[in-house]
Each structure stands twice: as C-alpha cells, then as structure tokens.
A and B are shown apart, each in its own frame.
Chain A
Amino acid sequence: MRDLEDQILVQRALQSDPESFGELCRRYYDSLVAVARSILPDRHLAEDAAQEALAAACRDLAKLKKPERFGPWAGAICRNVAKDMLRQLRKQQERTEANAGNEPDYQEDDRKAILDQALQQLPQHLREAIFLRYYNEMSYEQMARVLGATEQMIDGRLRRAKKKIAAYLMKKGFRRQ
C-alpha cells in the first residue's frame, strides 16, 4: 500500500501540490541520510547530501517513470550525490594536506577507528545495508523500500556484511563479547 501512496504523492506533487512532495521527503529523509552516511564520513554531510538528493529528485520528478518506486529512485540519486560530495571532500583534503604537510590525526579511540575501518572495507551495497539497519533501526520492510530490493536480498546482504565485519574485527584483535 505504501508504494501506492508514494505513487499518489508523486502524482499530486506533479499537480501543484508541494505538500505531497513534503510528505515524500519526510518519508524518505532518514533513509536517505543513512544511505549518504554509508558513503560520507560525517552525519552533517550526510544530511546535506540527503537534502540535495531531494532537490535533485524534485527537479527530475516528472521524469520518474515508475512513481511507485520513488524510494529506490531517490536512494540512487542520494548515493550519487554523496559520492560526488565524497570526491570533492577528498580533493579538498588532499589540497589541505599538501599545503599544510600534515599527517592525518589518529587520536581517536582505537576501537571506534577499527570499527570505522571495518565498515569502510565493505563493498558499498553491504555498507549501505548496515547503515540503514543500524542507523535508525530500520525494519527490513523499510529498507526494502529505499533499496528497491526484496527482504530476502537485504537479509543476505546483512549476513554477508556482518560476516566480513566480524572477520575484520577478529583480525584486529576484537574479541566476541
């Protein structure tokens, strides 16, 4: 039913009903932030990316061929926006590091850093599943709506992601609690 609601909201948004688009934004904002956060290193950047993705979705809304798939579509836009932001961020960092000649600061908590690395070594689609699942404690159903995948597929992705994370952490000396 949610897909149908999305479809109606898209149609209404296309017919001079901005609030319908607002409702779509509210529905997917958290998911989009989680998707962006799986790519970007910072929550605030992820929120910016999600907002930019919604702006891009708004501009291209009329091109959306399957309005019932607004969620996965917005998710894909958000992924691209976040990747672009990450590229820019890296360029900036490279410039700053080159100018200042500074080494990265590794004074963070080791445990946290290792967990970050464990997540970073995951392929993007697995990392995304982890972030969606644990960022806002989303259900499989909610995740499916933004990833455009079945619950079985999501289950598989989470399983594989956890296996990889576990292997990485064990290698780094983490012990099961």
Chain B
Amino acid sequence: MKHDKNNKWLDPLLSKHVHREPANFDFQKWAHKHPNEARLLQSGYADSSRNAKTTVQNLWRFIMESKITRYSAAAVIALAMTLVLFGPFWAPGNGNVVLADVQQNVDEIETLIIRGTKTFTRPGEPGSVLEFNGMKWEFDLVKYFSQQHGLVEEGYIGDKLIYRFTFNRPKRQTLLILPLYKKYGIFASTDKQMLLLENGTPKGIINLLMAGDYKELGRENINGVEAEVFEYQDPGTFKELLPKVIADIQNIKGKVWIAIKEQIPVRVEGDLAIGKSFMTMFQELNLHEVNTFGDYNIELDEDIFDTNPPEGYTEITLSDILPFIPIEAKAGFAGLGIAPAGLIFWKKRRRKRAKANRHE
C-alpha cells in the first residue's frame, strides 16, 4: 500500500501535464444532439423488458446490503412492507371479471378502517403463540388508510399499544413507535426513499398479487354481508417481492371475502410461513393475519398520519435491537452488511493508513 517516496516528485509533474479543469455537462444540449435517446427517456422505456418487480427487488437487495449506518432506515422500510402485505388492497386473481371490478373499486376508495389480528407462531406448533420479551405476539390490529394521507397500523396486546407504523404520504415520512420502550424510528423519505415506499404501497403490491393462483370457494355470509370467497395460494411474485434475507416467505395461503353487492373486499385471512430472515429476527415463524374491512370513505383526521415522534421518545439504535436477537442468529447480520465491530475498526485503520500514504 505504501507509495514509493521516491516517486513523490512525479505528482506535480503529472498534475501539470494531465490536469484539466472540469468540463460542464449541458444535458439540454446533449439531449438536442441525441434526439432518439431523449425520446427514449421521455417515453419511460415503454418497450423495455425491465419491470417494476425487478426494480423493487434490486432496490431492496441494495438497501439490505447497505452499511450499518442505514440499518435503522432499512429496518423501518422492511417493517413498513409488512404493513402493506395485508393492506386493504390485497386481492388475488388474474383477470377474473369480478376481481377486475374489485381492483377498480379498490382504487376508488379514499379512506378505510381495518380491524383484525396478527398472530406469530412457531412452525409445527400452531397453537403456541410466540413470546417475545414476556409478551405473546398476538396483536389486535387497527389500520387506517387514506389515499391522500397514507397508512397507519397499530398493534395492541390487550389495551396496550405495542407498535404504531405511520406512513405519511405527503410528508414522505415513515414513523415507527414502540410505546413500551419509548422508542421511535423515523424514516425521512427523501425523493429516492419515497420511491422505495411507493413501490410498496397497495397499488404497487396489488399488481404483483394479480399474478397469483386462486379458486372460488362459493358464497358465504359474513357479518350480514353476502360475499364470494376466494382462496389463494403462493402468489409467486409476492414471494419474490422481498429478498430472502429480509423476508424468506416460504408459503402463502389464505382467503379473501368479496362483498357481492359492493364488489369490494370485506375480509382477508392469510397465513405466511417465513423462514429465518431479518423480518423475523432470524427465526422461523408463521404469521396468521385476519383483516376485517370496516368503514369506507369516512373522514379521517389528518393528525392520525402525523409522523412527529412523540415527546419523551428516543430513536431506536442497533444496540436496542441486538439484545432481542438470538445469539446464533446474530451471524445473520453478516448477510446484511453489518460487520463485527472488530472488523470495522480494522477496516478504519486500513483506510487511515491508505489515506496517510496518499498524502505523502
């Protein structure tokens, strides 16, 4: 690594010989000179084979392979994705007339309140609810959706609020709060980060789900509403949505109830088998979620979607998360680009030495 000190005399010589002032790049001029390329950019590569799914995967892969400093942001995005997995627009199918109508109706919904449950169990132990830090992972859910303002998911155990996710669309921010620990994670969504989230919003997700297999199970009356029941299984594209390191979704199946008269979903049930991955803190888990769709197009207070951290809360750090991860699973962080402290120190020292050599 060390440069030959005897060649130090070359620096001014080469600098003088090779150096030029930076050139200014005029994009307009370039576009004028390259009209075909400019047209291609304007059209958004309409004929391109590249699709949203690949892009989402690439972005996710990149984020999860990023450095430790971005860990919190990545965690919030990953968890925000779970929010939309069972969002109001989860409807399976691929071209059925009824489902096409449903999709259109879903697009027209301005606001929506969903209630339900979210239960985590260990594989092979269906009745055994996972315990975490003395709490059973069986949450009562309330979700608020607003086309204009965003999405909120609240998870309760008993009457205690355990977590709240707020994805504020206009402010381009996602906030996770954990009231028990007085902790929050905030994801200030800049343009680029917003783009990541936009890919994870219900509209984006539904397109992926449309490729799944489903079958009609017949009619059922649910809470006084006549509904058609569909069973769905393994929407392949859904599984591929996230890299395995984030959410190793091994199996998905469930049912969706669609009100015949209104042509909108009224209930969704889903079972996910998730392998060891970041989302499950490197444990194998099953997730069962039930969502009952409540009031549509009611007025929702804008404050619900507020992403300002509550007073007295402190930001979640890596050291807050590590104690909750099984020791054997911590190795999994290597796959997320999170290196042991010793390695970071060693790398820093190497960089320092390289820098010192450069300045010689």
Contacts and interface: CB of A to CB of B under 8 A. Distances in A.
Q: Do A and B come from one complex?
A: yes
Interface of A: 1, 3-5, 7-9, 11-19, 21-22, 25-26, 29-30, 33, 37, 43, 47, 51, 54-55, 58-59, 61-63, 66-68, 112, 115, 119, 130-131, 134-137, 140, 151-152, 155-156, 158-159, 162-163, 165-166, 169, 176-177
B50 A14 contact: yes
B37 A55 contact: yes
Contacts, number: 143
Nearest to A54: B30
A8 B191 contact: yes
A130 B13 CA distance: 12
Contact of A166 (B10, B12, B191, B350): B10
B34 interface: yes
Contacts of B43: 16
Contact of B351 (A18, A151, A158): A151
Interface in B44-65: 44-45, 48-50, 55, 58-59, 62-63
28 contacts: A4-B62, A4-B66, A7-B58, A11-B55, A11-B59, A12-B195, A14-B48, A14-B50, A15-B44, A16-B43, A17-B44, A29-B23, A29-B25, A30-B25, A37-B20, A51-B30, A55-B34, A58-B41, A62-B48, A62-B50, A67-B55, A67-B58, A130-B18, A140-B354, A155-B358, A159-B1, A165-B10, A176-B6
A137 B19 contact: yes
A63 B49 CA distance: 8
A7 B57 CA distance: 12
Contacts of B34: 51, 55, 58
Contacts of B41: 13, 16-18, 21, 58
